[in-house]
Amino acid sequence: DVAPEQPGNLEFIRQMSHDVRVSVAHTCTSYDDACAAFDAGARHMTHLFNAMPALHHREPGPIAAGAERNDVTAEIIADGVHIHPAMVRLAFALFGDDRMILISDSLRACGLGDGEYELGGQQFFVKGNRATIANGSLAGSVSDVMACMRTTVRTMGIPLTSAVKAATVNPARALGLDGKLGAIAPGYQADAVVLDRDLSIKHVVLRGKAIV
């Protein structure tokens, strides 16, 4: 993850992009600098919309730059807290469901319920599906990827097929693991989650063995 506007980072992208997938992240970069980063070899965007300039009709920023590039993937925290549903729908429309990736940004408190927790020496507080630091700013997420996938379908209007792609085959492809993970097909690792019609988990299969 790099902020391409910082000195030396474009050269870093040029040198490293052949070995790792470089992502534009936590940035104040302009549209032009973001385009330069993608020209240099960056191929991903971390936490789309969060910690980056918003879309603007005169200053389009990094989101527009990424959307224009068919080889750039974008991850989004669709937990129902970080991003408004309309913006999640917009992201899928801009990037297409072959390039969107659902992530959780889960904190250590994920699944532990309401209470007070610690993150890097700083206290944060969980109430429901929202985790905040003392000043009310978001600390991260307490949703897992399955919960995010369920939220995109149930409350955000993303088609189930698109949401499943964004949680499975798309991230596998971005990491160079397509052909091994992310799909149910010959030659792939036999990992699968079986859901019911309400998208609740019925069974979990890990490496061909049912564990739930």
- HSE-CB for 62 with a 13 A CA cutoff: 32
Nearest to 59 by CA among 90, 86, 28, 36: 28
Residues 30 and 53: their CA atoms lie apart, in Å, by 8
- Write out the DSSP string of 47-102: STTTTSPPP-SS--HHHHHHHT-TT-EEEEE-SSSSS-HHHHHHHHHHH-TTTEEE
- Establish whether 1 is a catalytic residue: no
Phi then psi for 31, rounded to 5 degrees? Answer: -60, -45
Catalytic residue among 1, 71, 105, 178: 105
> How many CB atoms within 10 Å of residue 65?
25
Nearest to 157 by CA among 82, 91, 75: 91
C-beta of residue 45 within 8 angstroms of C-beta of residue 75: yes
- HSE-CB for 122 with a 13 A CA cutoff: 12
Write out the catalytic residue numbers. 105
